[in-house]
Structures are given as C-alpha cells and as structure tokens.
Amino acid sequence: MTDEQSRNNARTLTDLQATRLDYARRELESARAADLSQLPPSGLIFLITQLIHRFDDALAVTAEVFGHPQPDNPEPPRNHP
C-alpha cells in the first residue's frame, strides 16, 4: 500500500483517541530519554509496566478505529517463560 492509499483509507480519530495515543507517545519518549542505568530494579519494573499499559491502550485505540475485536483479557501475562 502506498502512502497515498494509506492517507485515503485513514480514519479520523476522536479527541479522546488522539489524546490517548499522544499520551502513549510522550510516555515512550520519556522512557527513551531516561537514564536507565540510574534506576533501581523496582524503577525499571515500574517503567516497563507503564509502557506495557500504554502499548495496550494504543492497540485498543487501533482496534476501535479499525474495528478489530479486543481480547477478552487485555491484562498481560504475569509469568513469562
């Protein structure tokens, strides 16, 4: 799909959806700018948890805009292999 086709298929976001995506973008920029070496382990865990929730919200906005079904349990798994 070309950029022109993408623009023609684009849907307009509501103010709330745009705000949610902007919030996620700012959170990611803040995390990228942080000096991770200075954070204690609990701070890293908190940062990762925040980013997981922002990513989940960004995916939810995408689902709202494009009509994709949401998973029944949006919480990320607690134990990773």
Closest of 52, 56, 54 to residue 23, by C-alpha: 54
Summarised one tens digit per residue, pLDDT across range 3-27 is 454 454 567 899 999 999 999 999 9
Rounded to whole angstroms, the Cα distance separating 73 from 81 reads: 19
Closest of 19, 32, 29, 30 to residue 58, by C-alpha: 19
Amino acid at 39: L
pTM: 0.65
Burial of residue 28 (number of CB atoms within 10 Å: 0-12, 13-18, 19+): middle
Summarised one tens digit per residue, pLDDT across range 36-76 is 899 999 999 999 999 999 999 999 999 999 887 666 655 65
